Structure 1
Amino acid sequence: MSKLRILVPVKRVIDYAIKPRVNKANTAVETIGVKHSMNPFDELSIEEAVRLRERKKVPVEDILAFSAGPAKSQDILRTAMAMGADRGIHVVEEKAELEPLCIAKLLQKVVEEEKSNLVILGKQSIDDDANQTGQMLAGLLNWPQATQASKVDIEGDTCTVTREVDGGVETLRAKLPMIITTDLRLNEPRYASLPNIMKAKKKPLQKKTLADFGLDGEKRLKTVRVEEPAARQGGGKVESVDGMISKLKELGAI
């Protein structure tokens, strides 16, 4: 049985508690002067990687946190290391918002260079909600995948993943190496304690560029326009069932 070498991609996004605002040009969500943090689904991924080590069912040799984005992304990598990741790789990219396919290609090269045999990543990031990177990476590597995991168990080289589906749960089993994407019910991420935050400052954080991996970040999609959703209209009250039926007929609902 080989030891686990876990790769956990993380992304810097607008904090989940902040209400997004569209910029004045209607081209994107406003990010200047807005609080950012680690994508919530990626927090689950880091937590699960650390828990796999703590369970001691399978020896974990390395937990590598990876992020691609502006210089400030190193903050979330340090947070990941404070939560338990051993080291980090930061692909610095200030100009472009990298698309899922580019990220998947980056991760493919990192997996090959680092000899990772398990990738745990959030099912989606809360900024673009693409939900594509994990699936694309599985396709590029030709690895089995289990998406939206609510429970992960590894024994030997066999990984069993439980995922919630409409009307129940589905259990998947596959041999490592494997791709797993995480859902909200998987675990409760721990807070990074002050001592661990201090220790994380001494953990290795390697900086690279897209060119180091032979990629240019060329965009294949163009955002035409971004608009805020229309304001919801207020509801109304009716005095009786007959009144409700009359109102629904008036609105053309029945």
Structure 2
Amino acid sequence: MKALVAIKRVLDYNVKARPNDQGTAVELANCKMSMNPFCEIAVEEAIRLKAKKAIDEIIVVSIGNEKSTEQLRSALALGADRAMLIQTDAKLSSLAVAKVLKQIAQKEGAQMVFLGKQSIDSDNNQTGQMLAALMDCAQFTFASEVNVNGDSVEVTREVDTGLETLKGGFPCVITTDLRLNEPRFAKLPDIMKAKKKPLDKTMLNEYEVSEASAVEILEVMAPSKRTAGVKVADVDELINKLKNEAKVIA
């Protein structure tokens, strides 16, 4: 069984994001870029399932410019078998990404598709759900545990009231949550071996997907700075400030 894992190149989560001088986007020049943390979890889960013999081959795919090969090589070093880069300089909508992934999943015959539940740059949390709808297959979002049993998969997911366990068949789309696993670090020998693993590159126009986005970013700005807190001597003073200064109680 093949597993397709989608990964995305994003600003490293340790870097403090700031708007560019024009206020039109986040400044990325000379900033460290990494694999989206939720995508790392997706890669790790596929690797663990392969170790359990539930998966035979892991294919990682990314949509972006040539620099995305860095993140694909990282995934290969972690344990993925093959990589695919769909080259484009455009920033695609979630729907466009889902349409590309659908075509790749069908072409490769992937029975399981893993995605991070969201990317830390746009935070849309849409692609996995859209992909499952386009493929007309089972979807398991916010997965915190995945178990493959023969011709079915059982997924425990986090919901507002606790945990929910779902069971379904293949093909399926799974979006990964933080508590699913702890991604491993690549070892130096594996990093060297990853350079010899296949990495195919194709252009976006081969997939007949529109680069146009229905969303327009009007302005990007840094969050306002929090004002300093104050100490109160007693409950009466606290109530007075909440009522007369903050005006959050009547």
TM-score range normalised by the length of the shorter chain: over 0.9
Equivalent residue number for residue 42 of structure 2? 45
Equivalent residue number for residue 78 of structure 2? 83
**Matched AA of 1:40:** P
Structure 1 counterpart of 2:187, from 170, 187, 193 = 193
Matched, 1:176 2:170: yes
Structure 2 counterpart of 1:115, from 109, 116, 122 = 109
Question: Contact 1:5/1:62 (CA < 8 Å) preserved in 2?
Answer: yes
Alpha-carbon distance in structure 2 between the residues aligned to 1:86 and 1:216: 29
Alpha-carbon distance in structure 2 between the residues aligned to 1:99 and 1:120: 18
**TM superposition shift of 1:61:** 2.1
**Matched AA of 2:234:** S
**Matched AA of 1:132:** Q
Structure 2 residue matching 1:179: 3-state secondary structure: strand
Alpha-carbon distance in structure 2 between the residues aligned to 1:235 and 1:157: 57
Alpha-carbon distance in structure 2 between the residues aligned to 1:167 and 1:68: 35
Q: Identity of aligned pairs, percent?
A: 49
Question: Contact 2:50/2:57 (CA < 8 Å) preserved in 1?
Answer: no
**TM superposition shift of 1:225:** 1.2
**Matched AA of 1:82:** A
Aligned ranges for residues 1-254 of structure 1 at < 5 Å?
4-56=1-53, 58=54, 60-94=55-89, 96-250=90-244, 251-254=246-249
Alpha-carbon distance in structure 1 between the residues aligned to 2:104 and 2:190: 26
Farther off after superposition, 218-227 or 25-34: 218-227
Question: Contact 1:210/1:216 (CA < 8 Å) preserved in 2?
Answer: no
**TM superposition shift of 1:167:** 3.2
Structure 2 residue matching 1:207: 3-state secondary structure: strand
| Residues 12-42 of structure 1, C-alpha deviations (whole Å, 9 max, x = no match) | 0000011100011111101111100000000
| Residues 211-243 of structure 1, C-alpha deviations (whole Å, 9 max, x = no match) | 111224122211111111111111110001111
Which segments of structure 1 move beyond 2 Å, counting only runs of 4 or more? none
Question: Contact 1:12/1:39 (CA < 8 Å) preserved in 2?
Answer: yes
Structure 2 residue matching 1:185: 3-state secondary structure: helix
Structure 1 residue matching 2:164: 3-state secondary structure: strand
Residue ranges of structure 1 left out of the alignment (5+ in a row): none
- TM-score, length-scaled by structure 2: 0.97
Structure 1 residue matching 2:56: 3-state secondary structure: strand
- TM-score, length-scaled by structure 1: 0.96
* Number of residue pairs matched by the alignment: 248
Structure 2 residue matching 1:239: 3-state secondary structure: coil
| Residues 120-161 of structure 1, C-alpha deviations (whole Å, 9 max, x = no match) | 110000000010000000010001101010000001111110
Residue ranges of structure 2 left out of the alignment (5+ in a row): none
